[in-house]
Amino acid sequence: MTDQLRIALAQLNPKVGDLSGNLALARKALDDAKAARADILMLSELFLTGYFPDDLLFKEQFIKDAIGTARALVADTKGTDVVLILPTIWLDVTGLHNAVLVAEHGDITAIRYKRELPNSDVFYEKRYFEPGPLPLPVSIKGVSVGIPICEDVWHTPVCEHLAMRGAEIMLCPNGSPYWTNKQHIRKDLVRARVAEDGVPMLYLNQVGGQDELVFDGASFAMEPGDKLAVQGRSFEPDFIVSDWTRSENGWTCTNGRIEELTSVEEAPWRACVLGLRDYVQKNGFSHVVLGLSGGIDSAVVAAMAADAFGPEKVHAIMLPYRYTSEASLRDAKDCADRLGVRYDVVAIGDPVDNALNELQPIFGNRPIDIAEENIQSRMRGTILMAVSNKLGSMLLTTGNKSEMGVGYATIYGDMNGGYNPLKDMFKMDVYALAAWRNKHLPGDCLGRAGEVIPQSIIDKAPSAELRPDQTDQDSLPPYLVLDDILTCIVEEEMALDDVVARGHDAALVTRIARLLNIAEYKRRQSAPGPKITPRAFGQGRKYPITNGYKDGTIG
546 confidence band (pLDDT: 50, 70, 90): confident
| Contact present, 53 and 62 (Cβ < 8 Å) | yes
**Span 141-183, pLDDT tens digits:** 999 999 999 999 999 999 999 999 999 999 999 999 999 888 8
Residue 555 pLDDT > 60, yes or no? no
| DSSP letter for each residue of 316-328 | EEE---TT--HHH
| DSSP letter for each residue of 2-38 | -SEEEEEEEE----TT-HHHHHHHHHHHHHHHHHTT-
Taking alpha carbons only, the member of 310, 345, 348, 338 closest to residue 457 is 338
Question: Which residue numbers belong to the known binding site?
Answer: 176, 182, 291-298, 374, 398, 403, 522
Q: What is the pTM of this model?
A: 0.94
Residue tagged active-site, from 45, 104, 168, 223: 45
* DSSP alpha helix (H) spans, 283-400: 296-309, 326-339, 349-363, 370-391
Residue 465: predicted pLDDT: 65
**Span 19-65, pLDDT tens digits:** 999 999 999 999 999 999 999 999 999 999 999 999 999 999 999 99
Taking alpha carbons only, the member of 9, 89, 6 closest to residue 43 is 9
Residue 314 pLDDT > 70, yes or no? yes
397 confidence band (pLDDT: 50, 70, 90): very high
d(CA 528, CA 539): 9
The question of whether 150 is a catalytic residue gets the answer yes
Question: Which residue numbers belong to the known binding site for deamido-NAD(+)?
Answer: 374, 403, 522
Residue tagged active-site, from 114, 282, 313, 423: 114
The CATH fold of domain 266-471: Rossmann fold (3.40.50)
Residue 470: predicted pLDDT: 67
**Span 452-507, pLDDT tens digits:** 999 999 998 777 767 777 676 767 899 999 999 999 999 999 999 999 999 999 99
d(CA 111, CA 145): 13
| Contact present, 34 and 82 (Cβ < 8 Å) | yes
Residue 534: predicted pLDDT: 86
d(CA 518, CA 521): 7
Q: 201-205 and 169-174: which strand pairing?
A: parallel
Residue tagged active-site, from 150, 159, 172, 335: 150
Residue 123: predicted pLDDT: 86
Residue 252: predicted pLDDT: 96
548 phi and psi, to 5 degrees? -90, -5
The question of whether 212 is a catalytic residue gets the answer no
Question: Any idea what DSSP says for residue 418?
Answer: S
Q: Domain boundaries in the chain?
A: 4-254, 266-471
The CATH fold of domain 4-254: Nitrilase/N-carbamoyl-D-aminoacid amidohydrolase (3.60.110)
The question of whether 114 is a catalytic residue gets the answer yes
CA dihedral 303, 306, 309, 311 (to 10 degrees): 170
Residue 100: predicted pLDDT: 98
d(CA 90, CA 111): 9
**Span 197-213, pLDDT tens digits:** 999 999 999 999 999 99
430: CB partners within 8 A, 6+ apart: 296, 297, 300, 400, 422
Residue 553: predicted pLDDT: 58
Question: Which residue numbers belong to the known binding site for L-glutamine?
Answer: 176, 182
Tell me if the bond preceding 47 is cis, omega within 30° of 0.
Answer: no
